[in-house]
Amino acid sequence: MCLAVSAAYLRYRREVKVWLYARGCSLQCIKEDELDEEKLFDVFLSFSSKDAGWVHAQLLPGVEALGFSVCTYERNFKGGFLLHDIIRDAVACSRRTLLLLTQNFVESEWCRLEFRLAYQRALEDHINRLVIVLVDEVAPQAMDEDLRMYVRAANYLRWGEPSFWDKLLYSLPKKDASKKLITHKEPGFPMNPITPSQINGCYKPSF
């Protein structure tokens, strides 16, 4: 009996944690709070520019409605910088990278770079900072090897699945631990660039 209960818990423990967290039970990690003290954003949205219309109409409003501060290129970075550096800084200044996996994403060289930098950051901090939402049915052979291996090994979310927003809430940073230095209350998507000094503060040594 005990063995059966233990096996059931191991199989469904993520669902149990999602259910508990959605009902206000905190599962914080103090180490993550310490690492993230200087982060500017809760979430960096990683997506193909070809999917921008859907992101701004569907995903982004829902994430911000949950109370999270969100970093996107058009709102938080000025022109004139190398895109590689912008991606690196966006990942470093955010507590999570929310990767929206579509066919357009896997076909984009820059999107693949965003995945690699976010994955590297997670390895350095020993924290699962990368959250994947499968928006389209993407064939495994369409992904590069690193992304394909990560998707196979990780728990990813499916857009439109039951309890999607509860599961996303569980996967993102604990809201009472976040330090929101920048928020977006204005309608639309106004430019609100972060400064070099703020970016420098994001690069803290890992424990």
Q: What's the rounded Cα separation, in Å, for the pair 17 and 173?
A: 14
Residue range 19-24: mean pLDDT, rounded: 54
* 97 within a domain of the structure (yes/no): yes
170 part of a folded domain = yes
Q: Residue 77: is its pLDDT beyond 80?
A: no
**What is the enclosing helix (H) or strand (E) of 142?**
none
Please provide the size of the chain in residues.
207
Per-residue pLDDT of 137-156, as tens digits, reads 999 999 988 898 888 887 78
Report pLDDT for 98.
95
Please report the DSSP string for 46-103 in residue order: E--GGGHHHIIIIIHHHHHHTT--EE-HHHH--SSS-HHHHHHHHHHTEEEEEEEE-H
Is residue 174, in this structure, part of any structural domain at all? Answer: yes
**Would you say residue 207 lies in a domain?**
no
Residue 50 has pLDDT above 50, yes or no: yes
Query: Is pLDDT larger for residue 131 or for residue 19?
Result: 131
Q: How many domains, in total, are found in the chain?
A: 1
Per-residue pLDDT of 154-199, as tens digits, reads 778 999 999 999 999 999 987 654 444 333 333 344 445 555 555 5
Structural domain boundaries enclosing 129 = 29-202
Q: Which helix (H) or strand (E) holds 15?
A: helix 2-22
Q: What is the pLDDT of residue 26?
A: 53
Residues 35, 121 contacting (CB under 8 angstroms): no
Domain assignment present for 175: yes
Of residues 32, 53, 63, 33, the one with CA closest to residue 184 = 63
